[in-house]
Structure 1
């Protein structure tokens, strides 16, 4: 617990915690927003004489470690006591809060605190206290006061030294609306500037110490979790003689048992590997500490330790069945957390809901696009499809929206890894709510795999015989040498509702491809509304190289007033989209070609704008021709016909910028469902940023 430096120092107040918002950023006039900070949560307790105590979230005295922050606020208090809630952070040279630098500073502090240099101030890594709440002023407790009033009093305190203490900026919903901005606009800014996310706070809420009520809801742009270090593996090859990785645990949220939740082997600096190894060797024990023995294949060469150290990892997914963290990276030790606090993440459950009506017209003229998708329809079909996946038999009736469909061969593997047709239908049902808006009004070209990936595959533009009579279609002139109907026209399907997606998935139409234009209600072709760059890695390159080219393209497009969005192709490459207005169907290709040639001229050794295969070795091909009205691009959230059920996945720019290994930008169906749960549709605002093509 915190050590009292003066009898007049106010008591420590256990911090109120923020609740995850489930991927839905709160909105409305009753909410305000603050940056989600990436440091050490701390309570600053100040006595009338200026004596200051800093206490961590779990009651550890931080005062000596962060002595530079003590006494700073006293001049603004005029002899009054105060208790502030906030975060201790470190900034990097780019002006971004950097948790890694804070961890390095802490490692140095722990190394030197028992040495003759224990008064070292670490001036080369200055810290800052970012205050976001005022819990006591003078002798008055403010815990029962509304957050809006506490925040007003905090903002009224003059910050004598803003380099060492300042107030976190706040944005109210009403202020954003007055500026013609939305919470999502703010979140986009947060992502672009490298912050961790937002915390939405209810203006009328009191402060409830030690609780996690709905008053504060955090919306993280990355997933992090606290973990207990339960073991380690020695390094190999380059890391021989050092720490290779950590074996992680957490307490089961239901039983409280300590359970194995996976490992982490990346994200460590060399110095941190050495420091951790020294600490872990002192904690070594013969047996694992878990309630149940972990799988043997996960514990080869393991050294077990007493479960006393808490750390933090970034992760991409927590698997439902095995309960394992996937795609982890180390963030650092959390000395401000106790092992008993650490809970294993919960795999998200998707709950069935009631169905909703959907349109029942065949022609494009009579479509009602606003009914294309509802969360209720998507989750209901997900439940029926999931049940069908487990059913035995050749034909299974299911309900999708208000349609009754018959599905077949649901247990048939369509991917080499065993992913079945039933699982394909299940995925498309669950992703429908975010996928359908990207298909609305766009003629769909299917790539079907009736015998599964590895068997025969074929493109299908024309609606196949036996299609349901409620499926909307549109007839358009053929742009190829063969129409398939013999009359110069192709009859395309329009996937406007959940049942249409389920129908297509039942045909083993794994891939859905669409053009950069839509059709109107009368079936006429509209001008292009999307600009696309397809980045294709040639031999000797990967999506990592595509990411570097994507960053350059982004900067050029932004300079031209466009707002680019990135997604994976689901295969080896990446695509950039920007919403545009143009009356000339040929203009997007011409503009894209000019930019592609410009980048190729600037860096001919790494980029090519030439389609010839022999020009692509060690280069990324910028395929500008995807903007030709006759071309199609794989739709966002479409599966791909590869060895695994990978998906064309929308990305944040932070993910693009930090990509250093190809595996970082490979997402399977299950992972994409989790991403949508966490972040919603990352392309949701694409068409809100629509501007004339330069």
Structure 2
């Protein structure tokens, strides 16, 4: 394949940044066959190393944040190897612990020190005690030639041909082809066993013929993270609330110490249950109730609030990612079911995978709440390493906040509270304009998705004094007014505070309030497209195209976003003095489309009318209703997001998966495209 020079790129200058190609989940099935190669999945900071012909080096994060000063000891190391050529390498910055394992916790601690001292006289303080290493896994440019269109095998060949003059600082990630493994009488499963034993995160399978596609999440790269299963003893439960009232909300787990035989508290599990299974479990738990916990030592009070204890007779199985050292807790758990074939006496606590070396430090988010700190995110105070579940103090803008339980999984796939805070803090610059002046209704998931959830309109007790609020009267069922005190999220700290409450979903009305709490007339028109049974977001897109045409004819500009669940919404910025007018207009337009294609569209709310049709929910324009905010997470099995989309994406949608975006996907999209709803208010027009 002929290779192409990078346009406008001077050989003597530092090459331009390349947005990284991203891997897709493999759904738990590690791909096998001669077309695949395998690399270790690394636990560090994704980084692009750009080297000029004179050796000048720039390091940038996956979101184009400059890492150069922070990891200055990685610069210039490839000058000799490149022999006067420029280059762009894709890789991961990692730290190793004393047992020779990649340790993200140490990298977090190093970053916390850097963030603390970068504005002080200690900015240049060396990090000799925590050396970093750049592990390269792709070569995107060499000299003036782009390698992006070259197949993986060719890029890998040229990468491994580069001499590594200082492997303590820069090295190539080990790679294995399926054919190489087969020649050694080994399989990818053998490799996975080795990866598990050596403490790596997992494997990434890469299609050997695939080009490098910048900024895209591709099925040519498939990540296979490691999970583990273990038996546990059910020792108690937290009663469910809200829709789970009368059922258990989460189980409290135990196992026997392998040495002493004592029954230990090893954590909880709140996801992975169907409601039917919750009911079956509750029936068995009811006959086992006891007054006190059964453990040799009393569990932490924060973990056992509202606990109902039971005799330790039921054995179950959970999936987990890690068993923490020190506290001895399962992390990222999901329920797999009861194991009636196992006896409680046979259930032993998992072996801790972290080494017992005294020089290694526990992996913990003590120094910061996010995996990759970017400008404007909360920065943790310089403090001793915290144990899992401990509270930490962070700086978010001008505010100090106390966060807790960052390791607690809130989604069945293991996405933690710390990762929720990470997402909301990084998306805040584009999220906040869509919340400005709008009272927020939260949907909170304190026990994670699958556990208790509840709407919260009133600001909860214990909210910080600096949080702006607004008191608004609402109509009661009999015409009485019942004031509600809503929160207004107008800064980074407010968003982080909400995320720390496990407020996964943020919902707002189509109107704003003045500083004195006076409700303004509606300024947005919304159409909520809800696919009925037998339809999907693909069908919603076809209806959205028709609505777009009709709205354009009426002088309005439509903007699209996914709901983050099954459907999508269209917004128009409007002016009107009549609070009832948007609903009336939206209803009229919805009924028109339903008359034109009654077999595909309905404007009737009754669920019996929705099978095979898309319901255009015009009632979301009622002043009493709210709609999920752009960039809000949703409480589903995965951390999906209500995502602004371009009209080209709407028109091109042929499969539902094309318009499913997770938190990571959305951060990548915003990094590449900015806020696709940024121009909404500039298109404001009078409501017809």
How high is the TM-score relative to the length of structure 2? 0.51
- Aligned positions of 1:302-341 closer than 5 A: 311=211, 316-317=216-217
| 2:627 pairs with 1:633 | yes
Query: Map of 1:136-535 to 2, 5 A cutoff?
Result: 211=144, 226=149, 228=151, 251=159, 255=171, 311=211, 316-317=216-217, 379-384=375-380, 392-481=388-477, 488-535=482-529
Q: CA deviation at 1:211?
A: 4.6
Distance in 2 separating the partners of 1:692 and 1:628: 18
1:597 aligns with 2:591: yes
State the partner residue of 1:690: 684
Q: In 2, Cα distance between the equivalents of 1:388 and 1:455?
A: 32
Aligned to 1:124: none
C-alpha root-mean-square deviation of aligned residues, in Å? 4.4
CA shift for structure 1 position 593: 0.8
The corresponding residue for 1:558 is 552
Query: Which residue in 1 is equivalent to 2:78?
Result: none
The offset of 1:481, in angstroms, is 3.1
Measure how far apart 1:518 and its partner are.
0.4
Match of 1:16 in 2: 8
Residues of 2 paired with 1:530 and 1:258: CA distance? 53
Q: Give the conservation status (yes or no) of the 8 Å contact 1:566–1:574.
A: yes
Matches of 2:384 and 2:524, distance apart in 1: 37
The answer to whether the Cα contact below 8 Å between 2:406 and 2:416 also exists between their aligned partners in 1 is: yes
Please give the per-residue CA displacement for 1:212-253, whole angstroms capped at 9, x wherever unaligned. 99xxxxxxxxxx95351559xxxxxxxxxxxxxxx9999589
| Partner Cα separation in structure 1 for residue 624 and residue 495 of structure 2 | 23
Q: 1:401 to 1:564 in 2, by over 3 A?
A: same
Question: Is it true that 1:651 corresponds to 2:574 in the alignment?
Answer: no
2: CA distance, partners of 1:653 / 1:578: 14
Work out the CA distance in 2 between the residues paired with 1:305 and 1:680: 29
Secondary structure (helix, strand or coil) at the match of 1:381 reads: coil
Question: Which is greater in Rg?
Answer: 1
CA contact (8 A) 1:249 1:258 kept: no
Shift in Å, 1:599: 0.9
Q: How many residues align?
A: 395
How far 1:656 sits from its partner (Å)?
1.1
**In 2, distance between residues paired with 1:428 and 1:388?**
25
Verify the 8 A CA contact 1:227 1:248 in the aligned structure 2: no
State whether residues 566 and 576 of structure 1, in contact with CA within 8 Å, keep that contact through their aligned partners in structure 2: yes
Q: What's the CA shift string for 1:57-88, capped at 9, x where partnerless? A: xxxxxxxxxxxxxxxxxxxxxxxxxxxxxxxx
C-alpha distance after superposition, 1:130-183 (max 9, x if no partner): xxxxxxxxxxxxxxxxxxxxxxxxxxxxxxxxxxxxxxxxxxxxxxxxxxxxxx
- Is the contact made by 2:508 and 2:628 (CA closer than 8 Å) also made in structure 1? yes
Q: Work out the CA distance in 1 between the residues paired with 2:145 and 2:383.
A: 35
Q: Which runs of 5+ in 2 are unaligned?
A: 20-141, 163-169, 193-204, 226-367
Q: Distance in 1 between matches of 2:437 and 2:540?
A: 30
In the alignment, structure 1 residue 619 sits paired with structure 2 residue 519: no
Cα distance, 1:13 vs structure 2: 9.0
For the 8 Å contact 1:378–1:432, the answer to whether it is kept is: no
Shift of 1:402: 1.3
> Which secondary structure does the structure 1 equivalent of 2:504 belong to?
strand
Q: List per-residue Cα deviations over 1:453-503 (Å, max 9, x = no partner).
A: 1111111111111111111011111134399xx962111110111111111
Task: Call closer, same or farther: CA 1:494–1:666 in 2, change over 3 Å.
Answer: same
Alpha-carbon spacing, 1:450–1:544, altered in 2? closer, same or farther (3 Å) = same
Unmatched tracts of structure 1, length 5 or more: 3-11, 24-208, 214-223, 232-246, 262-283, 299-303, 326-354, 356-375
State how far apart, in whole Å, the 1-side matches of 2:601 and 2:555 are: 23
TM-score, with length taken from structure 1: 0.50
The structural deviation recorded for 1:286 is 6.7
Q: Does 1:579 align with 2:573?
A: yes
Aligned partners of 2:412, 2:382: CA distance in 1, in Å? 20
Contact kept in structure 2, 1:385 and 1:398, CA below 8 Å: yes
Q: 1:451 to 1:13 in 2, by over 3 A?
A: closer
- Give secondary structure in 1 for the equivalent of 2:452: coil
Q: 1:314 to 1:609 in 2, by over 3 A?
A: farther
Give the alignment of 1:7-156 within 5 angstroms. Answer: 15-17=7-9
- Using a 3 Å threshold, how does the CA distance of structure 1 residues 490 and 618 change in structure 2: closer, same or farther? same
Aligned to 2:58: none
Q: Could you tell me how far apart the structure 2 residues matched to 1:591 and 1:666 are? A: 30
**For the Cα contact (< 8 Å) 1:531–1:577, is it kept in 2?**
yes
* Secondary structure in structure 2 of the residue aligned to 1:552: helix
The offset of 1:682, in angstroms, is 0.7
The answer on 1:680 being equivalent to 2:674 is yes
- Work out whether 1:609 is the aligned partner of 2:603: yes
The 3-state SS of whatever aligns with 1:541 is: coil
Distance in 1 between residues matched to 2:383 and 2:661, nearest whole Å = 24
Aligned residue for 1:379, secondary structure, equals: coil
1:567 to 548, 554, 561: 561
From the superposition, tell whether residues 473 and 225 of structure 1 become closer, same or farther in structure 2 (CA, over 3 Å).
farther
2:515 & 2:373 partners in 1: Cα distance?
24
Q: CA deviation at 1:427?
A: 1.1
What's the counterpart of residue 537 of structure 2?
A: 543
SS in 1 for 2:447: coil
1:14 Cα offset (Å): 8.2
How far is 1:400 from its partner? 0.9
